[in-house]
Amino acid sequence: MINQEVLGVVGPYASDVTLAAGTVYTPGQLVAISPISTSVKISNFSRYIFRTVPSDFMAARALAKYMVENLQKKMRLFSSIPKVTIVSL
């Protein structure tokens, strides 16, 4: 994918598509900015792939903090992903 007329890409529209497209964009040093991709896998994925929104991790942390501090609710987080710590807030 070498086309000197293409300066960059706005998109893709989802995290999995961003990661897949990034494997094509990165070797060609083509910059891509995704407006809605939130996967934590995009962080440090490529020096040419960016996003304009926080990662899922950042959003989850902010929501949990708001819930505990403002709604005074307790919560438990569970995951089926191996090596994920179960925490209670």
Q: What is the pLDDT of residue 3?
A: 72
Asked if residue 20 and residue 61 are part of one domain, the reply reads no
Q: What is the pLDDT of residue 47?
A: 95
Q: What is the pLDDT of residue 77?
A: 64
Its pTM stands at 0.70
Q: What is the pLDDT of residue 83?
A: 56
Q: What is the pLDDT of residue 15?
A: 92
CA 83 to CA 19: how far, in whole Å? Answer: 23
Domain count, the chain: 2
Asked if residue 4 and residue 42 are part of one domain, the reply reads yes
Asked if residue 31 and residue 7 are part of one domain, the reply reads yes
Asked if residue 38 and residue 10 are part of one domain, the reply reads yes
Which residues make Cβ contacts (< 8 Å) with residue 78, sequence separation at least 6? 86
Low pLDDT (below 70) residues in the chain: 1-2, 73-89
Q: What is the pLDDT of residue 89?
A: 47
